[in-house]
Amino acid sequence: MGIFKACDIRGKYPLDLDERQALAIGRAIGTVAMKSFPGARVVLGGDARLSTPTLKSAMRDGLVESGCRVLDLGIIATPVAYFAQRYCKADAVVMVTASHNPADENGVKFAVGRMPVEPEDVAEIERIARSGSFAKGAGHAATIDAIGPYCDRLVRRFGSLPRMKVVVDAGNGCMSEIAPLVLRRCGCEVVELNCVTDGRFPGRSPNPTKTENLAEAVKIVREEGADFLAAYDGDGDRVVFADEAGEFVAPEIAGLFFALGVLRFGSGKIVYDQKSSQVLADEIRKAGGEPVMERSGHAFIKRRMLVDGALIAAEISGHYFFRETGGDDGLYATLRMIEALGRTGNKLSQFVKTVPLFHVTPDIRIPIAGDPKIVVEAVAKAYADRPIARMDGVRAQLEDGWVLVRPSVTEAAVTCRIEAGSPERLAQLLEEVLRVLTRAGGGRSAGS
């Protein structure tokens, strides 16, 4: 599949993605934008990686050569780029970023129009970039500030929040200066960690979902007596929380926290990804909401939220989407967390204790000798008497949990994830699934 993924474009710099390719991708995105919106206005930003400035420059040139009017936002967080598309009434948004991936990678997130991309959109950009069938025009570029208006908007929205102490671990990414600034302007006390923007990510990996990357951050939470931790990924659209005791809050629980908060004011749909615990859907129903399951992937989750008019959406990678913003924003989610905790007067750990216990495996990658799709179908056959969802792979709903097996699109492997009512049942189901996979041509787990 190369650098063109289901929801974005991503690869190692300069081995997989270089300036020449960035120019072609910019021209391809510009071609699509000009076809959909003649004279298209495009907002363009980039994250803090060392390779971003030259890649973004090439991307800008490609957009301009296609006839687009480019509004260059500079080095910014992805949520700022999304905001700028609305603020500037732009027709498209392009962000040079590899999100949570290591420092030696880079990529492109983009959208033409208001809806997130689908795999077919990414495939079309690849086709045009490879064929060279570009639009030609006399576009131009101008530099604008979107960070100031973005910060002002958040401060106006949230005003003076309860004076909580928040440890902010920005991982030297794009929220390094923005998050502490906005939180302080809203009345919070901020303890900063890795809040100097540095595209080498010297403080930690830009992926906060790997809890081992946040050992120092949770230690500081305990030492400082903070109310909670907010840790962001490289481009700032994801956030991971830990409570006042330094205990990590599972993304399902954080998603449920936000869902129950909005359901206090009325019923509606809540979108969640198919890898989430069943607890999330069950508790949403109890609160009068309608849980809507969608395949994993930020673009898929966001699209479903917008199409269905859902109140919010949550993905277990730490993306939280809100109707108010129309997308995912780690800082906005942090402010909503403070707002809700202040309203209830409770600590985050108190909410966590109210959530029923659940037992879910991590993603388990299993090498496959044969065709991964055939192996996945063997799982579907094994659970044919159960409700099956086929959004991405096969998800079998059981009486006391579920089994999800998905084929890899990049290697001969499948990814397995299982939930059960007890650790013993979880181990039993895992062994059961492994037997099915082995008989169908699979092998034992290579780790998660």
pLDDT (mean) for 433-440:
90
**Distances in Å between the alpha carbon of 394 and those of 15, 168, 301, 381?**
34, 38, 18, 10
Residue 134: pLDDT above 90? yes
CATH number of 251-354: 3.40.120.10
pLDDT score at 411: 77
pLDDT (mean) for 173-194:
98
Q: Where are the domains of the chain?
A: 9-145, 148-242, 251-354, 359-439
Residue 448: pLDDT above 50? no
pLDDT score at 412: 83
Q: Say whether 251-354 and 148-242 share the same fold.
A: yes
Residue 269: pLDDT above 70? yes
* Contact in structure between 246 and 215 (CB atoms under 8 Å): no
- The model's pLDDT over 63-116, given as tens digits with 9 standing for 90+, comes to 999 999 999 999 999 999 999 999 999 999 999 999 999 999 999 999 999 999
Residue 418: pLDDT above 50? yes
410 CB-near residues (< 8 Å, 6+ apart)? 1
83 CB-near residues (< 8 Å, 6+ apart)? 146, 149, 150, 153, 325, 329
Radius of gyration of the chain (CA): 22
Q: Which CATH architecture has domain 148-242?
A: 3-Layer(aba) Sandwich (3.40)
Coil, helix or strand at residue 425: helix
Q: How far apart (Å, rounded) are the C-alpha atoms in residues 340 and 412?
A: 45
pLDDT (mean) for 124-141:
97
Q: How far apart (Å, rounded) are the C-alpha atoms in residues 168 and 190?
A: 7
Mean pLDDT of the chain: 95
pLDDT score at 109: 98
Active site residues: 10, 99, 319
May I ask the CATH class of domain 359-439? alpha beta
Residue 190: pLDDT above 70? yes
pLDDT bucket at 369, cuts 50 / 70 / 90: confident
Residue 447: pLDDT above 50? no
- The model's pLDDT over 208-232, given as tens digits with 9 standing for 90+, comes to 999 999 999 999 999 999 999 999 9
Q: How far apart (Å, rounded) are the C-alpha atoms in residues 210 and 130?
A: 35
Coil, helix or strand at residue 180: helix
211-231 in b/e burial notation, b at 16+ Cβ within 10 A? eebbeebbebbeeeebbbbbb
Widest Cα–Cα separation across the chain: 65
| Domain 9-145 part of CATH 3.40.120.10 | yes
* Contact in structure between 208 and 100 (CB atoms under 8 Å): yes
Q: How far apart (Å, rounded) are the C-alpha atoms in residues 129 and 20?
A: 11
* DSSP bridge partners of 14: none
Using CB atoms within 10 Å of the CB of residue 67, give its burial: 0 to 12 exposed, 13 to 18 middle, 19+ buried: buried
Residue 443: pLDDT above 90? no
Q: Tell which residue, 193, 182, 190, has the closest CA to residue 163.
A: 190
Coil, helix or strand at residue 344: helix
Residue 390: pLDDT above 60? yes
pLDDT bucket at 446, cuts 50 / 70 / 90: very low
The percent helix, strand, coil of the chain (3-state, each to 5) is: 40, 25, 40
pLDDT score at 442: 59
Share of the chain above pLDDT 90, in %: 93
- The model's pLDDT over 238-257, given as tens digits with 9 standing for 90+, comes to 999 999 999 999 999 999 99
pTM of the model: 0.96
pLDDT (mean) for 126-153:
98
